[in-house]
Amino acid sequence: MPACAVCNGGTSKADLTAAMVSRWNYDSPHQEQEDHSRLANQVRIQAPELIAEWTKLDQLGRKDALKYLRRYGVRVPDDAGLVSVGPHTIRQLNIFAHKAALCLYFEHFKKPLSNSGRVSAHWRTKEDFSNGGVPSELLEILPKYGTLMQGKWNSAETFEYRYDLNEEDGLFGCG
């Protein structure tokens, strides 16, 4: 989606947060470790408050976190790395969710959302998905499948979404 340098740079912390968080529990341990190290160094420079938030779990907090995740059906090995997700992370993920919704709107309509348009974006945790998956009602109202392409590069292995749109009224929904 075209954006000026100020607007694009204004969400760089949110982009970095989403890149980092999306790689936690990635299926390729070698790639995850490589990506994690590189991204963690960027986070230390750009957003040290996130590092402080993520690393504040002590042993008691770790035990409570494992119980919490398991109670919600998230399979977590005893030796898994855990982080504390708090207000700093949540704020950045909300910014990223809104940016992603606006970008996908642009992808489908080939124009930005007008100034009178409205956006509502929400992200869900692993606990949410482990507990009930994607709600079937959402899948029913968003029947189309999408992924992003850039030249020959296809994001299907790492990013996919469901959507529907009404071109006449300019309505777009995605999940």
Handedness of CA 66, 72, 76, 82 (dihedral sign): negative
Among 120-124, 143-147, 151-155, 163-167, which stretch is predicted with the lowest mean pLDDT? 151-155
Collapsing DSSP states into helix, strand and coil, what is residue 101?
A: helix
Average pLDDT score, the chain: 85
Reference 90, options 38, 54, 56, 129; nearest CA is 54
How many degrees, rounded to 5, is the angle at CA 69 between CA 158 and CA 122? 50
pLDDT of residue 35: 77
| pLDDT of residue 156 exceeding 70 | yes
Put simply, whether the predicted model's pTM sits higher than 0.85 gets the answer no
Q: Are 163 and 174 in contact (CB under 8 A)?
A: yes
Collapsing DSSP states into helix, strand and coil, what is residue 46?
A: helix
Instruction: Read off the pLDDT band of 32 (50, 70, 90).
Output: low
> What average pLDDT does the segment 9-25 reach?
86
| pLDDT of residue 93 exceeding 90 | yes
Neighbouring residues of 26: CB distance < 8 A, sequence distance ≥ 6: 32, 35
How many degrees, rounded to 5, is the angle at CA 59 between CA 48 and CA 93? 35
Collapsing DSSP states into helix, strand and coil, what is residue 151?
A: coil
| pLDDT of residue 152 exceeding 80 | no
Reference 47, options 102, 6, 93; nearest CA is 93
Instruction: Read off the pLDDT band of 28 (50, 70, 90).
Output: low
| Largest separation between any pair of C-alpha atoms in the chain | 55
Beta strands 153-154 and 144-146, pairing class = unpaired
What would the two tokens of residue 79 be? 């030796």
DSSP bridge pairs for 171: 166
Instruction: Read off the pLDDT band of 79 (50, 70, 90).
Output: confident
Percent of the chain at pLDDT exceeding 70: 92
For the chain, how big is the Rg over CA atoms in Å?
18
Collapsing DSSP states into helix, strand and coil, what is residue 47?
A: coil
